[in-house]
Chains A and B, each alone.
Chain A
Amino acid sequence: NAGVMQNPRHLVRRRGQEARLRCSPMKGHSHVYWYRQLPEEGLKFMVYLQKENIIDESGMPKERFSAEFPKEGPSILRIQQVVRGDSAAYFCASSPLRQPLNNEQFFGPGTRLTVL
């Protein structure tokens, strides 16, 4: 059973370009969470999605950031017109059931985004 997969592992973009980060949850998991780790900071929640639904996006910046989890395929975190401050590690986690049923979240290896 493959774990949570994220790609690419490293992504370099110039200011103004778009970044697309992909997350494939563990098999059988229908809940996906995205977190961001800025340099020298901890993991910060961004968004929680189920298939075709955004459940909680309270941690997402209001502009330029969007997320989706379509019926088929991976979850995508999209950052438009990237700026240097978007440089961070972006982690995805998945769980089989909805919180707060106390299920642990399984994390992917992260995508490290560098904006030049």
Chain B
Amino acid sequence: ILNVEQSPQSLHVQEGDSTNFTCSFPSSNFYALHWYRWETAKSPEALFVMTLNGDEKKKGRISATLNTKEGYSYLYIKGSQPEDSATYLCAPLYNTDKLIFGTGTRLQVFP
């Protein structure tokens, strides 16, 4: 059973704070890492797909890095806003067709 860990489980920050969370995953047979953003009562929405060691992707105030050798990825949010409040899921893909989702980091940004 592949174990994907995300930390912290939940995070409360003030508007304007920058924050980051971690996704750890087994690195054997790794193929790609997906990050999703999941707002309450909505569908998970893809943020990034990363494949190469050292990959760094950015979308607005959100960025992510990937270390495939040691099996981790960081997601950063600069200057958090209330609309960033959501659960952030990571999901590595191995040499199969299925994504293995972590349990997510629940972010709440207070105005």
The residues of A with any CB-CB pair to B shorter than 8 Å are: 3-4, 33, 35, 41-45, 48, 55-56, 58-59, 91, 93, 98-100, 102-110
Residues of chain B having any CB pair with chain A under 8 Å: 31-32, 34, 36, 42-46, 49, 51, 89, 91, 93, 95-104
Q: Are B97 and A107 in contact (CB under 8 A)?
A: no
Task: Please determine whether A48 and B98 come into contact, CB atoms closer than 8 angstroms.
Answer: yes
Could you list 8 further interchain pairs (A-B, Cβ under 8 angstroms) beyond the known A99-B93, A100-B31? A33-B98, A43-B89, A56-B96, A56-B97, A91-B44, A98-B97, A100-B32, A104-B46
Are B45 and A42 in contact, CB atoms less than 8 angstroms apart? no
Report A6 CB to chain B, min CB distance, Å.
9
How many Å lie between the Cα of A110 and that of B38 in the bound state?
Answer: 12
Q: What's the minimum C-beta distance from A75 to chain B, rounded to whole angstroms?
A: 15
Chain B: CB-nearest residue to A41:
B103
Interface of A is mostly: loop
Q: Is the CB of A99 within 8 A of B49?
A: no
Name B95's closest neighbour in chain A (CB-CB): A100
Interface centre among B31, B42, B89, B99 (most CB of A within 10 A): B99
A44–B44 Cα gap in the complex (Å)?
13
Contact A99 B97 (CB under 8 A): yes
B98 touches A100 (CB 8 A): no
Which A residues are in CB contact (< 8 Å) with B91? 43
